[in-house]
Amino acid sequence: MTHNAADHRALALRQRQDALDRTKAMLAQFRTNIYLNHPQLDAIELDLEGVLAFGPPEKGNPQPARTYLLVGASGAGKSTILHRFLARHPPVKEVLRDLMEVVYAEVPASATRSGTIRAILEGLGVSPKARATEADLTRSLVHYLRGMGVRVLILDEAQHLMDRKTGRFAYDTADWLKTLSNSGLSIVIAGTPEASMAYHLNEQLGRRSMGQAEIESFPWGGPDPQSEWMMIVEALAPKIPLLNASLLLEGDIPHRLHLATAGYLGRLVDFMALIIMEAGKQGATAMDRHLLMAVEQRRRDLDNPEWVNVFALVSLADYKAPVRDTSRRTRIRRGRRLPRQEDVGHLEEV
């Protein structure tokens, strides 16, 4: 490689890194300013503060811990709310120990007890040994939960407690959560609607409930500026650090955004974040229709042959809602069913 060629390559790499750094800075700015006041979201945040305020039982106040259920479709905005709650209650470093009032963990896809315990330990900043037994993991978890003063455990992706392929429920893991709650730890269970199985099939968790909430999609209320969806887009569009972000409010673009995101706030926020990423990739400083088309193309549903790019259509009169395969959708039983041997090999007390 000649000297000039090496210099040209080094310059190209620096320019690419500079563009990446600018995109990261724009995303960070967007995520920092993304908060949206809305009665539905505000009520959930107040509920979460109530769970924390209730806290674990103390001397002279032997109240059992409480549970809270938060469900919504994928992309509804659950994780956004939960992480805002976490941000308001960050870990506190003291001389002798670290305090963490709220810990966040995701239920692993397998939803085994060992896997769930490992996920919680990692949420506490602890790296468990690869070959640790379940008993060792449990002792370690109890030690850190007490030592770090944890008051609330958030378990996200709790729909993994339900095996979508077999329709079986991880009774042993759910029963272990009940035992964990008996120790005085309040638990927030979050996930898609299947996560509510943890409540409906475990009587004690449901009995201790401080509330249940479902984040619903916002309806398309037409182009009326006073409709909820239009007000949400109007509130979020200026937070995108690109020129001409007001394009999102022009013509039928708000309706196309609603179709692309099914009216879910979390999906809208993710779509806007992808706009920033795609702009950085293209080196664009302003928003245009082609940028929106490119973002939606990145989000395409590869499993659905009827998927269409709503931003590529000349007119929404040509739009036909894709039919989704719901043959594997889990049915949620409303009654309580006792665990059977075929569901779990055996139930053990932790």
**Sorting pLDDT into bands at 50, 70 and 90, what band is 334?**
very low
**Sorting pLDDT into bands at 50, 70 and 90, what band is 164?**
low
Share of the chain above pLDDT 90, in %: 33
Range 274-292 average pLDDT? 91
**pTM across the whole model:** 0.78
Tell whether 85 and 123 lie within a shared domain: yes
- Identify the H or E element spanning 211: strand 209-215
The answer to the question of residue 22 being in a domain is no
How do residues 103-145 score in pLDDT, each as one tens digit?
Answer: 999 999 877 888 999 999 999 999 888 888 888 998 899 899 9
**Phi/psi at 23 (nearest 5 deg)?**
-65, -45
Domain extent, residue 281, equals 220-318
DSSP string, 188-207: EEEESGGGGHHHHT-HHHHH
Tell whether 56 and 158 lie within a shared domain: yes
Query: Is 21 buried (19+), middle (13-18) or exposed (0-12) by CB count in 10 A?
Result: exposed
**How many domains does the chain divide into?**
2
Which pairs with CB-CB distance under 8 Å and at least 24 residues apart come from 319-322?
Answer: 319/259, 321/259
**Sorting pLDDT into bands at 50, 70 and 90, what band is 322?**
low
- Could you tell me which residues are beta bridge partners of residue 72? 215
How do residues 303-314 score in pLDDT, each as one tens digit?
Answer: 788 888 999 999
The b/e string for 271-291 (b: 16+ C-beta within 10 A; e otherwise) is bbbbbbebbbeeebeebeeeb
Tell whether 55 and 90 lie within a shared domain: yes
Tell whether 239 and 147 lie within a shared domain: no
Tell whether 84 and 165 lie within a shared domain: yes
